[in-house]
């Protein structure tokens, strides 16, 4: 089947996909995890404009979110680089408020926090009564590359520590990290890094959406059945294998939980703050998110999972206009979670 013929697919999502061809299997790319790195880097630079056009088609007619103010600050990263942070906060709402450090998707190698779709997502979160900080971390490829692991992770850690150190100035009561896809990886990995580096107490919780955390896309393991079941549903597993190589070119971190958190053990996660792992029913990445959820439970972490039925990878974010109730349920759940860990 393709998404358009899968009876599980939400028909509103399919209707939004048809005009831009997303209801069919994506075109095969002449790249995979064995391709030369320079070819893969060029692919990331070529792919980004296509994603920009997709989001323009999906969000272009949407009116701006009201009741939100925005500012940009630049902080110093641990590697001596400058990191732009995009801060969104609700107007006419008194604090202190929960904070969300948002790490955007793109497999840690493409796209940007400044992209319009992520601005809208942060606005929607802020309008619900939170201070939202988007991190413009360095990517493995694309216009913000070429900075392989651990550059992006270091930037997310630096941003999270800056937010924690400026709690009073920002007017925040708690701090959660949330992101989707590659951003879900970075949300989880930043928390694992915080434990390793001794500042875990700064993080109140983690809300990871459709986390891209396995890394083993070139040879999908049988226990991650969704990589076969849902291959070519919005995402192509072969392409993900290529992007994984851009993030870790030499494969030296293939089993490093900070690069690919699915490799974390129950001992690695013991003591972590509460987590929510949200996955999409028709996503190739569904089962790796659920596998990490089970690791959290085995490590004694307060965790819950949710599956957004009828949706492809990040469908509850990407199709915010076509399925506002589905997107709204996820946005509300993030808000409720952030409030619960204050």
What angle (nearest 5°) sits at the alpha carbon of residue 110, between those of residues 252 and 306?
A: 85
pLDDT at residue 342 in the model: 77
pLDDT at 94: 83
pLDDT at 32: 77
Name the more confident of 94 and 270: 270
Contact between residue 342 and residue 98 where contact means Cβ atoms under 8 Å apart: yes
Per-residue pLDDT band for 228 (boundaries 50, 70, 90) equals: very high
Model pLDDT, residue 158: 98
Question: Which residues is 209 bridged to in the sheet?
Answer: 180, 278
Q: What DSSP letter does each residue of 152-193 carry, written as one string? A: HHHHHHHHHHHHHHTHHHHTEEEEEEEEETHHHHHHHHHHHH
pLDDT digits over 233-250, tens only? 999 998 899 999 999 999
Does this model's pTM top 0.75? My answer is yes
**What ranges do the domains of the chain cover?**
3-340
The tokens of 213 are what? Answer: 């955390």
pLDDT surpassing 90 at residue 95: no
Question: In the predicted model, what is the mean pLDDT of residues 249-277?
Answer: 97
What is the rounded average pLDDT for all residues in the chain?
95
Domain 3-340, classified CATH 3.40.50.1820, yes or no: yes
Q: Longest Cα pair distance anywhere in the chain, in angstroms?
A: 53
pLDDT the model gives residue 114: 96
Question: Element (H or E) spanning 241, and its range?
Answer: helix 237-247
pLDDT band at 191 (very low <50, low <70, confident <90, very high): very high
Predicted local distance difference test score (pLDDT) of residue 62: 84
- Judged by phi (left if over 0) then psi (alpha if -120 to 50, else beta), residue 203 lies in beta
Alpha carbon distance 257, 283 (integer Å): 22
The whole-number pLDDT of residue 18 equals 95
Task: Quickly count: other Cβ atoms within 10 Å of residue 56's Cβ.
Answer: 14
Q: Is the pLDDT of residue 30 over 90?
A: no
Q: What pLDDT score does 55 carry?
A: 87
CA distance 134 to 195: 22
Output the pLDDT for position 63.
87
Helices and strands in the chain: count of H runs, count of E runs: 12, 8
Q: What is the pLDDT of residue 31?
A: 80
Distances (CA, A) of 310 to 24, 233, 257, 314: 16, 12, 30, 11
326-338 residue pLDDT tens: 999 999 999 999 9
Residue 313 pLDDT > 90, yes or no? yes
Measured CA to CA, the distance from residue 91 to residue 171 in angstroms comes to 13
- C-alpha R_g of the chain: 18
Residue 71 has pLDDT above 80, yes or no: yes
Q: Is the pLDDT of residue 117 over 80?
A: yes
Question: CA triplet 13, 316, 271: central angle to 5 degrees?
Answer: 155
In 3D, which of 266, 282, 248, 272 has the Cα closest to residue 187?
272
pLDDT digits (tens, 9 = 90+) for 161-185: 999 999 999 999 999 999 999 999 9
Tell me what pLDDT residue 308 has: 98
Q: Decide if pLDDT at 253 tops 80.
A: yes
């Amino acid at each position: 089947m393709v998404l358009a013929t899968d009876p599980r697919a939400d028909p509103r999502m399919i209707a939004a996909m048809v005009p831009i061809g997303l209801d069919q299997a994506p075109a095969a790319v002449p790249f995979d995890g064995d391709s030369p790195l320079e070819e893969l880097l060029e692919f990331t630079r070529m792919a980004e404009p296509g994603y920009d056009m997709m989001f323009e088609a999906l969000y272009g007619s949407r009116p701006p979110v009201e009741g939100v103010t925005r500012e940009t600050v630049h902080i110093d990263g641990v590697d001596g680089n400058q990191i732009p942070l995009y801060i969104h906060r609700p107007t006419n709402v008194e604090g202190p408020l929960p904070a969300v450090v948002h790490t955007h998707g793109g497999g840690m190698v493409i796209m940007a926090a400044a992209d319009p779709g992520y601005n809208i997502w942060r606005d929607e979160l802020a309008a619900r009564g939170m201070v939202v900080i988007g991190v413009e971390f360095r990517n493995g490829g694309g216009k913000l590359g070429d900075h392989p692991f651990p550059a992006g992770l270091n930037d997310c850690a630096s941003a999270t520590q800056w937010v924690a150190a400026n709690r009073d100035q920002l007017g925040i009561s708690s701090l959660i990290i949330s992101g989707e896809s590659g951003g879900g990886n970075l949300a989880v990995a930043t928390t694992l890094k915080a434990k390793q580096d001794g500042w875990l107490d700064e993080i109140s919780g983690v809300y990871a959406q459709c986390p891209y955390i396995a890394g083993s896309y070139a040879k999908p393991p049988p226990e991650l059945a969704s990589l076969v079941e849902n291959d070519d549903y919005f995402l192509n597993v072969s392409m993900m294998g290529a992007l994984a190589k851009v993030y870790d070119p030499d494969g030296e971190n293939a089993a490093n939980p900070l690069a690919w958190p699915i490799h974390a053990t129950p001992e690695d996660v013991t003591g972590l703050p509460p987590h929510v792992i949200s996955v999409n029913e028709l996503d190739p990445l569904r089962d790796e998110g659920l596998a990490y959820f089970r690791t959290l439970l085995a490590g004694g972490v307060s965790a819950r999972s949710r599956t957004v039925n009828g949706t492809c990878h990040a469908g509850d974010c990407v199709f915010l206009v076509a399925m506002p109730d589905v997107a709204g349920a996820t946005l509300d759940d993030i808000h409720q979670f952030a409030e619960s860990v204050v």
